[in-house]
Amino acid sequence: MTSDNHTHSRGLQQDARAWAHFTGCNYTAAMRQMQDPLAQGLLGDRISARHLIATLDDHAMVGQVGDDFVLGENGFNADTQWRFNHKDDYVQLALITEMLRMFTPLPGTESPEIGSYSLKHTAEAFLKGTPAHYVTNGRLIWAAAALGLPIAEYNSDGGPNLRIGIPEHEHDYVYRMVRAGLERPQGHHYRPPGYEHLRTALAQCAAGEPVADRWVRPAPAVEDPAPFHDWLIAQADRDEPIGDFASDYAEGIRTSAHRIARTPDELVLLLNELSHSSGAWDAAREVIGEWLSRMSPSPGIRTIGTSGQVEEVGGYGAGRGNMERREYRCPCGDGRIVEEHDNIPGFREHGHWIECDKCRAEWRFLSGRSVYDWALEPVF
């Protein structure tokens, strides 16, 4: 046995002894929980049972005062003692801790927003199929306190619910991913950093497989610059269709209803996928027109390619060559843009056209660009 293993098993023994004493079960039952694969630390170090117990003694807000407990099964200041089942009570707390760990820790400058009672429901839905499929308000707060997350009272009203410091957007994302009957997020910009890893680890545990890699919390993301997105969000206050469009877009980002459009091309692609009114489409064309007019020369927009083929043409007339045909989606998505090249010596011809009546009226090719290098701009 290596010294690390020795330290680890000594830690488990001390934890088992402490947990057995604290919850009133026997050592063997407590040890079985300490060794449960779900409690070995999925997004970080194993949460120590002694630390959990100490939290109820020492924590500045939920630690006990004199001989009086402050936190119980129903929450803060609720007069309900803990009920331990001696079977998986520790494993439950470990799982709730993991669930809370997947979020980005809230900066100390921001005040906690997420109510423990709604977070408890999110935890239950996320941890469905595990021993923590039922989570009490008190245990949710306990795990958050043990993890050192910021915690605050609601208006000091003495109620059982507290506010927990995890990012609201990330919570909304998880809530909508796991709660039954809700429309799932289509944009993943607010997915908590540990979300995928924890889902995978839980599935591996459920399948009896070892949990593969250790998770490393990513450094705070340095966002790629997205000047078009930033500019669009900034138009939300305008009292005209562009303003309405921009504020709907901002709302869709806030609620993860759709992803970020970093460029006008991505906005067109996004609108191809979302249902929208013709008014919204016209406003989007105005948005794109205004954005392009700010640049000189205008880069125009490109749409996605849908097919391309090259046919070799040989030995006939002037010599060998090929004929190329490429197709792209038209901006509205119902038709296409076609690009053709006859690369045959003596018969060189290049052409492109829009095969969609609606888009032909609404867009035109930028002048001064080669056929290969085409780009569109809106027509008004």
25, 232, 292, 356: residue in contact with Zn ion (rule CB under 5 A):
356
Instruction: Tell me: does residue 269 bind Zn ion (CB under 5 A).
Output: no
Q: Which of 380, 184, 375 is nearest to 268 (CA)?
A: 375
Cα–Cα distances (Å) from 110 to 62, 142, 152, 153, 157, in that order, read 20, 21, 11, 14, 21
Q: How far apart are CA 65 and CA 56, in angstroms?
A: 10
> Nearer to Zn ion by C-beta: 75 or 331?
331
When the beta carbons of 211 and 356 are compared against Zn ion, the nearer one is: 356
Per DSSP, 367 falls in state: T
Q: Is 238 helix (H, G, I), strand (E, B) or coil?
A: coil
Residue 205 and residue 186: Cα distance in Å, rounded? 28
Instruction: Tell whether residue 337 is a contact of Zn ion (CB under 5 A).
Output: no
Q: In angstroms, what is the minimal distance from the CB of 335 to Zn ion?
A: 4
CB 114 within 8 A of CB 166: yes
Q: Does 39 bind Zn ion (CB under 5 A)?
A: no
Could you say whether residue 268 binds Zn ion (CB under 5 A)? no
Nearer to Zn ion, 150 or 333 (CB): 333
Asked if the peptide bond before residue 297 counts as cis, ω within 30 degrees of 0, the response is yes
Binding segment for Zn ion (CB under 5 A), chosen from 18-26, 151-159, 212-220, 355-363, is 355-363
Please report whether residue 335 would count as binding Zn ion according to CB under 5 A: yes
Q: Is 332 in the site for Zn ion (CB under 5 A)?
A: yes
Stretch of 124-132, 150-158, 254-262, 350-358 contacting Zn ion, by CB under 5 A: 350-358
Q: Would you tell me the crossing angle of helices 116-126 and 168-178 to the nearest 10 degrees?
A: 40
> What is the per-residue burial (b if ≥16 Cβ within 10 Å, else e) of 250-278?
bebbebbbbbbbbbbbbbbbbbbeeeeee
Name the minimum Å distance from CB 357 to Zn ion. 8
**Which CB atom, from 140 or from 332, has the smaller least distance to Zn ion?**
332
Q: How many residues bind Zn ion (CB under 5 A)?
A: 7
Stretch that binds Zn ion, among 159-167, 194-202, 345-353, 356-364 (CB under 5 A): 356-364
Distance CA 210, CA 345 (A): 63
Among 149, 242, 270, 330, binds Zn ion (CB under 5 A): 330
Q: Which is nearer to Zn ion, 272 or 322 (CB)?
A: 272
133 or 358: CB nearest Zn ion: 358
CA pseudo-torsion sign 148, 152, 153, 154 = negative
Kindly tell me which of 89 and 339 has the beta carbon lying closer to Zn ion.
Answer: 339
CA distances for 180 relative to 13, 23, 177, 184, 333, angstroms: 40, 34, 8, 10, 32
376 is an interface residue for Zn ion by CB under 5 A: no
Which range binds Zn ion by CB under 5 A, 87-95, 189-197, 252-260, 323-331? 323-331
Query: What single-letter amino acid sits at 97?
Result: T
- How far, in Å, CA of 88 to CA of 54, rounded? 19
Which span sits near Zn ion by CB under 5 A: 193-201, 341-349, 351-359, 365-373?
351-359
If one asks whether residue 359 binds Zn ion (CB under 5 A), the answer comes out as yes
Binding region for Zn ion (CB under 5 A) out of 72-80, 90-98, 329-337, 366-374 = 329-337
Query: Could you list the residues that contact Zn ion (CB under 5 A)?
Result: 330, 332, 334-335, 356, 358-359
